[in-house]
């Protein structure tokens, strides 16, 4: 953070990317070892073994938000600075425990998806249909490329959703500062319910498109092309989904803890310095990374695997590609229609971000402040 916001972002991304190496090596060794010992059954049991630590994983995941909320309550209640210092230290530890819990979730999601993929091959008749699963087959490779794109699309949609909701809340906060007398000097109460309403409403509206794409993608590929392309799609989504989830979770934790380190230890001049402000920018980017898009990718790969396994018996007659391609036009039409409807309802009208920033030295008339969307 000493050299500015840009280098904070660059270093955080680098840390997130390099953090993919140890988990991937461990997962690969686990897959190879369990497969050598007991085949696909061994991989499934390894997934069950990771899921058996659910109690510890939930505890480590819950620790961070509890400590973070305690710090927020201490600040709103104007408690002694010593209390806030303790909660900040606990919150920094919570970021690390949460990253550990997310690692377990990502690893178990990959192993579970591999087991579901093996079950899909069996239930769809791929092993007996004569269709090739060779990675050099254009059909399979096309499915791999399409599946590799889906985690990036899913992550992009969730990141943009956070940006839209955050922008709407910023506009609302600026409006309240400009229109509620006494709010700037602390003698009036803010309308917190409005910000909560914006956040909760956005969290529901903005999940329609990601959910639609996650459900419809395997149905489209499976019905339109066939089970071989769908198996390739699942393989591609598992591979890139794991990489992206690890990178986003660990990069977000690194950005958050860099800010906490300056605040708790007083490093680089402590709070209020340009270094601290640069790390705050990194933390702002890291929150949707580690709390929204990263954990959501686990759900994406498991959901698509489950949907593929559910529809696998329907594809037992697909002994050649493109055999019943016309059935694939139905989910395509549903996806296009859903995209158009969501765009016109929630994405077409941009958020008005022209609300002025109110400082102690300027006054803003109520007529100049737009209403929050």
Check pLDDT > 60 for residue 356: no
Tell me how far apart the alpha carbons of residues 187 and 197 are, in angstroms, rounded to a whole number.
24
Tell me the CB-side half-sphere exposure of residue 199, using CA atoms within 13 A. 9
Tell me how far apart the alpha carbons of residues 218 and 305 are, in angstroms, rounded to a whole number.
8
Q: String of b and e for 130-157 (b: at least 16 CB within 10 Å)?
A: ebebeeebebbebbbebbbebbeebbeb
Check pLDDT > 60 for residue 366: no
Cα→Cα distances 283→8, 202, 251, Å:
9, 21, 10
Residues with Cβ < 8 Å from 49, sequence gap 6 or more?
Answer: none
| R_g of the chain computed on alpha carbons | 24
Residues with Cβ < 8 Å from 170, sequence gap 6 or more?
Answer: 353, 355
Burial label for 323, CB within 10 Å (0-12, 13-18, 19+), is middle
Whether 243 and 20 have beta carbons less than 8 Å apart is answered as yes
Tell me how far apart the alpha carbons of residues 87 and 67 are, in angstroms, rounded to a whole number.
6
Average pLDDT, integer, range 347-368 = 53
Q: Would you give the DSSP letter of residue 132?
A: -
Q: Would you give the DSSP letter of residue 304?
A: H
CA 261 to chain centre: 25
Question: Would you state the pLDDT for residue 351?
Answer: 60
Burial label for 301, CB within 10 Å (0-12, 13-18, 19+), is buried
Taken in order 214, 132, 28, 148, the sign of the CA dihedral is negative
Q: Which of 133-137, 195-199, 310-314, 346-350 has the lowest mean pLDDT?
A: 346-350
Whether 133 and 126 have beta carbons less than 8 Å apart is answered as yes
Q: Kindly report the average pLDDT of the chain as a whole number.
A: 84
Closest CA to 84 of 96, 73, 95: 73
Q: Alpha helix (H) ranges present in the chain?
A: 5-18, 21-51, 54-76, 81-123, 126-129, 138-179, 192-205, 208-224, 227-265, 274-288, 294-311, 329-342
Check pLDDT > 90 for residue 153: yes
Which tens digits make up the pLDDT trace of 83-140? 888 888 888 788 778 777 888 888 888 888 888 888 888 888 776 666 667 788 889 9
Check pLDDT > 60 for residue 361: no
Residues with Cβ < 8 Å from 16, sequence gap 6 or more?
Answer: 246, 247, 248, 249, 250, 251, 252, 254, 289
Question: Would you state the pLDDT for residue 268?
Answer: 75
Check pLDDT > 90 for residue 257: no
DSSP string, 58-78: HHHHHHHHHHHHHHHHHHHTT
Closest CA to 220 of 326, 107, 362: 326
Check pLDDT > 90 for residue 25: yes
Average pLDDT, integer, range 314-324 = 80
Check pLDDT > 60 for residue 166: yes
């Amino acid at each position: 953070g000493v050299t500015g916001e840009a280098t904070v972002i660059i270093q955080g991304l680098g840390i997130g990317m390099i953090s993919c190496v140890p988990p991937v090596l461990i997962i690969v060794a686990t897959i190879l070892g369990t497969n050598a010992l007991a085949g696909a059954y061994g991989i499934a049991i390894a997934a069950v073994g990771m899921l058996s630590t659910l109690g510890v994983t939930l505890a480590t995941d819950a620790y961070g938000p509890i400590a973070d909320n305690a710090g927020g309550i201490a600040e709103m209640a104007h408690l002694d600075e010593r209390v806030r210092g303790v909660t900040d230290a606990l919150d920094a530890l919570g970021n690390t425990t949460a990253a550990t819990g997310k690692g377990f979730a990502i690893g178990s999601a990959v192993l579970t998806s591999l087991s579901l993929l093996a079950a899909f091959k069996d239930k769809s008749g791929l092993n007996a249909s004569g269709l090739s699963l060779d990675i050099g087959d254009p059909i399979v490779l096309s499915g791999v490329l399409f599946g590799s794109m889906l985690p990036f699309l899913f992550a992009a949609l969730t990141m943009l959703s956070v940006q839209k909701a955050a922008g709407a809340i910023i506009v609302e906060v600026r409006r309240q500062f400009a229109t509620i007398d006494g709010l700037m000097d602390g003698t009036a109460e803010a309308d917190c319910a409005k910000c909560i309403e914006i956040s909760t409403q956005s969290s529901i509206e903005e999940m329609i498109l990601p959910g639609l794409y996650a459900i419809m993608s395997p149905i489209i590929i499976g019905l339109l092309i066939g089970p071989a392309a769908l198996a390739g799609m699942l393989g591609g989504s598992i591979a890139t989904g794991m990489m992206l989830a690890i990178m986003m979770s660990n990069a977000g934790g690194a950005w958050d803890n860099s800010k906490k380190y300056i605040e708790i230890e007083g490093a680089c001049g402590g709070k209020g310095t340009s270094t601290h402000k640069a790390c705050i920018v990194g933390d702002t980017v890291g929150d949707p990374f580690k709390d929204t898009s990263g954990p959501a990718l686990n759900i994406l790969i498991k959901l698509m695997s489950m949907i593929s396994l559910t529809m696998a018996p329907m594809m037992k007659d697909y002994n050649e590609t493109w055999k019943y391609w016309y059935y694939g036009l139905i989910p395509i039409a549903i996806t296009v229609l859903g995209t158009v409807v969501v765009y016109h309802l929630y994405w077409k009208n941009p958020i008005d971000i022209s609300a002025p920033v109110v400082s102690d030295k300027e006054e803003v008339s109520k007529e100049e402040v737009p209403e929050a969307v």
